[in-house]
Amino acid sequence: MEELNRRVRSDLQKIQYATKDWSFPRQKGDEKVLDVAIIGAGQGGIATCFGLMRRGISNVCMFDMAPQGGEGPWITFARMLTLRTPKYVTGPDLGIPSLTPQSWYEARYGKEAWEKLHKIPRQDWQAYLDWVRDILALPVQNEHHLRDMDWQDGLVRLTFACKDDVRKYVWARKVVLATGIQGGGKWHIPAFISSVVSPDRYAHTSDPMDFDQLRGKRIGVLGAGASAFDNAATALEAGALSVDLCLRRKTIPSVNPYRWMENAGFLSYFSELPDVIRWRFMHRIYDLNQPPPQDTFWRCRKHQNFSFHTACPWLAVREEGGEVVVTTPDKEMRFDFLIIGTGFLMDLTLRPEMKAFASRVVLWRDHFIPPEGQESPVLGSYPYLGKSFQFLPKDENDPLAPMMSAIHNFTFSATPSMGLSGSSVSAMRFGVEKLTFAIGRDLFVEDGERHLQSLLEYNEDELVSLDPPE
């Protein structure tokens, strides 16, 4: 690892041209103003921070609500054994070979271990991200929970809750939201479950769970995504008496559209397509859905006490005699505990940090009428973003329109507008290139007169002698 660290520093030194700071410092009273505040210090935040620094924008800071080392899902609620993406996919390295996951893995475990590796274990992925942050000396402030954003004097004022609920205010010219899947709404549990079942008898796949408490119990799982299977497998491995996984579809999805999307054309240029083509792309992708990886499926199927039930939606749920009774089209099923894998609800108004402007942001349903037969309330609920990942106002004369333009949405909710980006390892490098170029352009253009004045005042002699050296 020490040898790899030296190689990283050497590589960065070789490509340091035009990476020095160029933006002008700003103050708000006695407070320093950040050029960019990045919310989230997981993989998307790290890659964005590094990408900005590569463009000479170092007056940035990441803020994460988790303690150091706990950013992102990998050692919190992620319950897969490995990443779902192939091991050769790169991301936060931004194309620098010594910073790739392969270089890190080989330095830590050896080249032979990499050759034998199928997919990267999630704990190793977290350790890799921690290493990238540390070797690049990326600035991050942990245990900072963003509570509010407002617009004052052409700047975004961010309000954070820190330890002991201490309030902290940060000023920034630009904000990047790199808060992952849940950054556009919240994890979803259907009301017909949450309104009638005791909270100690169910959990969402994203919730903290003590799986040891499920030993010897009958578990019902709703959903057929990868996280539903991950949680089902974890319950089985913890000694659950039985696990029944139920899904509405007649078959488990088998085609993974993400593998098709992993080409430079789509990853780079999807956002440039007309609205109708982007909508048709996303309608197909969301219709296919993403299946559980083959190894995740077999992780469940190897247990004889695991069953899955297709065409088996849950119609109603009730508690009765110490059991949870689930009504399906064919029968009633009885469980001791429910695991809910119904994904997330896309609704910006559910995000407390966006309360000042969420209801005023343009959504796809506000901007676009889909072709007949391709309607989708789900896609319609996503924000319709500008070409720089920025929010757009419903009313161009909205006094908060400049604030929306200064906030760049690098979460999963950017997908219909921008394609795969901040919350996907597969597209991270391409999304970061586009995002950081746009941010740098905005900052430079805004200060264009000051940069011109800097040139006019430039007076450093390069020709210092008329006589040749002896």
- pLDDT at position 379 is 97
Same-domain check for residues 121 and 227: no
**CA-to-CA distance for 416 and 131, rounded, in angstroms?**
32
Residue range 8-35, pLDDT digits in tens: 999 999 999 999 999 999 999 999 999 9
Residue range 170-205, pLDDT digits in tens: 999 999 999 998 899 999 999 999 999 999 999 999
Q: Band the pLDDT of 368: cuts 50, 70, 90.
A: very high
- pLDDT at position 455 is 97
Tell me which of 274, 307, 342 is where a domain ends.
342
Same-domain check for residues 366 and 433: yes
Nearest to 72 by CA among 4, 149, 30, 130: 130
Same-domain check for residues 122 and 165: yes
**Residue at 184: amino acid letter:** G
Same-domain check for residues 20 and 142: yes
Same-domain check for residues 32 and 145: yes
Same-domain check for residues 321 and 422: no
- pLDDT at position 163 is 86
- Does 410 fall in a domain? yes
Q: Once rounded to an integer, what is the mean pLDDT over residues 305-333?
A: 96
- Does 469 fall in a domain? no
Residues in the chain: 470
Number of domains in the chain: 2
Same-domain check for residues 35 and 177: yes
- pLDDT at position 296 is 93
8 Å CB contact between 35 and 441: no
Q: Once rounded to an integer, what is the mean pLDDT over residues 47-65?
A: 97
Same-domain check for residues 195 and 250: yes
- Does 27 fall in a domain? yes
Same-domain check for residues 169 and 226: no
- Does 162 fall in a domain? yes
Same-domain check for residues 68 and 106: yes
376 alpha-carbon distance from chain centroid:
23
Range of the domain at 366: 2-184+345-451
**CA-to-CA distance for 410 and 349, rounded, in angstroms?**
17
- Extract the tokens encoding 260: 């098709």
170 alpha-carbon distance from chain centroid:
22
Same-domain check for residues 147 and 209: no
- Does 276 fall in a domain? no
- Does 6 fall in a domain? yes
Same-domain check for residues 333 and 439: no
**CA-to-CA distance for 150 and 251, rounded, in angstroms?**
47
**CATH number of 307's domain:** 3.50.50.60
- Does 85 fall in a domain? yes
Q: Band the pLDDT of 470: cuts 50, 70, 90.
A: confident
**CA-to-CA distance for 48 and 42, rounded, in angstroms?**
10
- Does 283 fall in a domain? no
